[in-house]
Structure 1
């Protein structure tokens, strides 16, 4: 445990960490991979190049500093990250390695501001947090082993289906599992592990499960990530779509994640998604209509246009079958004037014809900018934060 004096020392470094956090974590990852290149088999290299992973870690370190005397405030975020760690196969033995290079990075970047006493205290704080992760992840590994013993098992692609422009669904059936039925909570994801042609390292990516549990397959829906001037093309999304065919094998983890609906309640449910963020929503929508046929659902989705809107036919069938489901589709613009859509332009939740129910639960998934805007609209409409649930694709942007 940390003494009061040690906690004060950590709190005192918080402003410096906030200012230098990205520099610290960028240096950390550079040195970590230089000395332990095998960890590239776990970490998403694209997130390193784009800066999202170093920024996420910087936010986490800062959050520890400001919450050092109330680390229980971080438990929801710790559990969220622990799910990701378990799905990646992070081991307890890797935490001391990470701690070593994180402390070296703090010392290197802060220089004279990082005395031996401060480094020692941060080492103790890191160990407390690492022990918490290890404890939580241990329980998660036990749950995962109830499905299968290994962290990753081979699965065969039994079906491959184009959903819309740049988006393809893969139907995966684990190999060697008798009388298989997919066991997961709608809204969860799996990790897919592949060694792309010409790559020295394994690559792991997480994809939401987009169909119902209980099927004889797991379905993931993958959008082709097209890069730009600063961000390269998505290595795995392009590999999956271009190289993986029906009959091929890939490795997958047991399902993970804490983004699922509380079905002990019957209050109105808003499912709000942007772009490929609709993948977990599709599973949630199909599950809740099946298990809670009287629960009202407002399904809101925003896409650039109809050409990149996946699951259009599935959604139409669900709305026709379940009158308790109301849809609101928004496109930035329409490519075909004949396309039927509720709204064209900028999505504004405060203008939904269904209104915003103050007693409802709101589930959001999509790009960072989209979710930031949606959360701002909901909170400005006085929707309590505890009723707003969201899932990031990629590294969590902050620990709160």
Structure 2
């Protein structure tokens, strides 16, 4: 049963919004330092890069502010809660962890605010924390139950490693336990990949989420990972760099090696019943954002769907454009598939009309309306790429008359939801 706030407690939480705006980041930064020092086992759960860069503390501070500001209408936060619960499930977060987090969060709120943290305010925040925790625990329980037979980390062997571009490599995984079934996930979802990192504090587990990049129903799971330039595993600062774990996969993990995976999760996915069998699917991506959309595209093609499909992708040039040959081949074989390739910095030997279609970054104004389907009220839009690109593209589609309920945006990161 979800615990609830009294009207007076809700009003007290609302009154702390200005305080959180000023001191929220200090509270969450101190919280993470304290809880990890007192509970070293959490190093195996928290993202070391996000800890080193302060991203996780900023995300939690933003979440606390959003929660307090919307305490009287939590429905506004439903998309953010859904996203975070899927992330938690993919990291096998258990109910008892909420006790630890709650204890140390309230402790550090009191320490930072000092005399301003009156008994009334702390009582209200204690009730508010457990109201939200109960909601999330119940949601995560439901997600775990959906997996049926797979609730923990499982060992998977790398059975294939294939270079897709200058930056992106695909990894194919099959379960070490031959009795473990590979689930038929929803196209667009992700898995968490966990490896043991000896370079960190004498050795800790680290996990990251990566989109599944193939259609479900195979005997393997495939992810396609971008190697971030300028990051070398072993350098003193490499653990604080974006792409840290992806560099370990690229540089240290090969066919035959074993890693751990969780069951697929994620609230960004394609589902036919939401649209109808004839509704156009418009897939828009930039850079490595194409990975989750490849899963959707291959699903539609393999199901021999007759629905119109538009593939709009932006990359710097052909060397960095993953899956180009596959996309071109699929477009030749499927008359209902239209592909538009943007190149922001094409090489001098690349030919417009052959190697790419439009020079520059993605600009929906340069995509034919017949391909974008903005006049079709059933068309579904899926967007993935850098955060600014996704938000800008979503806003452009809305300007073109597309209703928000037909636009899905994949927002990775630690609860990174720009809308709140």
Tell me if the contact between 1:227 and 1:233 (Cα under 8 Å) persists in the aligned partners: no
Is 1:276 the counterpart of 2:262? The answer is no
SS at match of 1:341: coil
Shift of 1:24: 2.2
Residues 27 and 181 of structure 1: is their aligned pair in 2 closer, same or farther, counting only changes over 3 Å? Answer: closer
- The residue number in structure 2 matching 1:27 is 30
CA–CA separation in structure 2 for the residues paired with 1:243 and 1:297: 37
- The residue number in structure 2 matching 1:193 is 194
- The residue number in structure 2 matching 1:349 is 364
Say which of 99, 102, 106 aligns to 2:105: 102
After superposition, residues 197-346 of structure 1 pair within 5 angstroms as 197-199=198-200, 200-226=203-229, 232=241, 234-264=243-273, 265=276, 266-291=278-303, 293-339=305-351, 340-346=355-361
Residue deviations 1:122-181 (CA, integer Å, cap 9, x gap): 1100001101111111111122233x3x51111111111111112111100011133855
CA–CA separation in structure 1 for the residues paired with 2:403 and 2:205: 42
Tell me if the contact between 2:285 and 2:312 (Cα under 8 Å) persists in the aligned partners: yes
CA–CA separation in structure 2 for the residues paired with 1:301 and 1:222: 17
Any stretches of 5+ residues in structure 2 without a counterpart? 232-236
Is 1:125 the counterpart of 2:142? The answer is no
Tell me if the contact between 1:226 and 1:232 (Cα under 8 Å) persists in the aligned partners: no
Moved more, 12-21 or 252-261: 12-21
Tell me if the contact between 1:207 and 1:222 (Cα under 8 Å) persists in the aligned partners: yes
Any stretches of 5+ residues in structure 1 without a counterpart? none
| Superposed structure 1 runs of 4+ greater than 6 Å apart | none
Residues 381 and 20 of structure 1: is their aligned pair in 2 closer, same or farther, counting only changes over 3 Å? Answer: farther
After superposition, residues 169-184 of structure 1 pair within 5 angstroms as 169-178=170-179, 180-184=181-185
CA–CA separation in structure 2 for the residues paired with 1:368 and 1:62: 20
CA–CA separation in structure 2 for the residues paired with 1:212 and 1:233: 27
SS at match of 2:31: helix
Tell me if the contact between 1:9 and 1:118 (Cα under 8 Å) persists in the aligned partners: yes
Shift of 1:307: 1.1
Shift of 1:73: 3.0
Moved more, 195-204 or 161-170: 195-204
Moved more, 339-348 or 168-177: 339-348
Residue deviations 1:217-237 (CA, integer Å, cap 9, x gap): 100111112357995263311
Shift of 1:198: 2.8
Give TM-score scaled by structure 2 length.
0.90
SS at match of 2:272: coil
CA–CA separation in structure 1 for the residues paired with 2:348 and 2:178: 46
Aligned residues: 398
Give TM-score scaled by structure 1 length.
0.94
- The residue number in structure 1 matching 2:234 is none
- The residue number in structure 2 matching 1:6 is 9
